[in-house]
A and B are shown apart, each in its own frame.
Chain A
């Protein structure tokens, strides 16, 4: 994705800011045509991604950078939706090892990747150049939103 993000936020790896990230993602998702439950699930996926970075990537150090970038997804012929990229400077891991655990193994923890993959339509983990990881997530909007004006073309703005 080379196009400039419509929203780009930098936050520190402190769990106190998770609620703010959820509010942002939920609000933008709503504007892009998702219903309340879908908005909550998208915010949940972002929350889980941030928690994994804080917990595993940065070993709970609260002062490390995380970037959230957001685009409306208008890739034809896909319907409208949302594309989110979450980047960090945490230790790099082999993306193929990032899998959700078996759900019949009922125990605390380890559900984040499963939740992300369950909620989002496209999920890609990759190493960034230099250091850190990049998580790209796409959620296609429900069909009812396809008739809405594409936000990227809404240059003059509308309420």
Chain B
């Protein structure tokens, strides 16, 4: 599970991208990204997650997003990407 913290914007998304690339290199069966400690995300964060999702699909990794607040969820909805990702309310809602 990856649990980023703080704002994910153009300044911080490169670091987030590197973390996710490192995880994807291990080709896990499942990748959970817990966003409950992310207060804000812009389109660079969204692009990082789209890139991660593409790699995960190629690796046959199941990628799940959880813990989004309303502000973070809003950008997924504005970009119509809320249907592209598997999104669940909290980490407790993920089936084992």
Q: B-contacting residues of A (Cβ < 8 Å)?
A: 15-16, 18-19, 22, 36-37, 40-41, 43-44, 47-48, 51, 54-55, 103, 106-109, 111-112, 114-115, 118-119
Contacts and interface: CB of A to CB of B under 8 A. Distances in A.
A63 to B, nearest CB: 15
Interface centre among A51, A103, A111 (most CB of B within 10 A): A111
Contacts of B42: 18, 44, 47-48, 51
A119 B78 contact: yes
Chain B, interface residues (CB within 8 Å), range: 20 to 34
B26 interface: no
A18 B43 CA distance: 13
B44 interface: yes
B50 A107 contact: yes
Nearest to B84: A106
17 contacts: A15-B9, A18-B9, A18-B42, A19-B11, A22-B40, A37-B71, A40-B40, A40-B71, A41-B78, A47-B42, A51-B9, A55-B10, A109-B43, A111-B43, A115-B43, A115-B75, A118-B78
B96 interface: no
Contacts of B80: 103
A112 B47 CA distance: 11
A48 to B, nearest CB: 6
B9 A115 contact: no
**Candidate in A54, A55, A118 with the most chain B CB atoms within 10 angstroms:** A118
A107 B51 CA distance: 7
Given A16-B11, A22-B40, A109 B47 contact: yes
Nearest to B75: A44
Contacts of B79: 103, 111, 114-115
A144 B11 CA distance: 36
Contacts of B94: none
Nearest to A14: B11
Nearest to A108: B47
Contacts of A112: 43
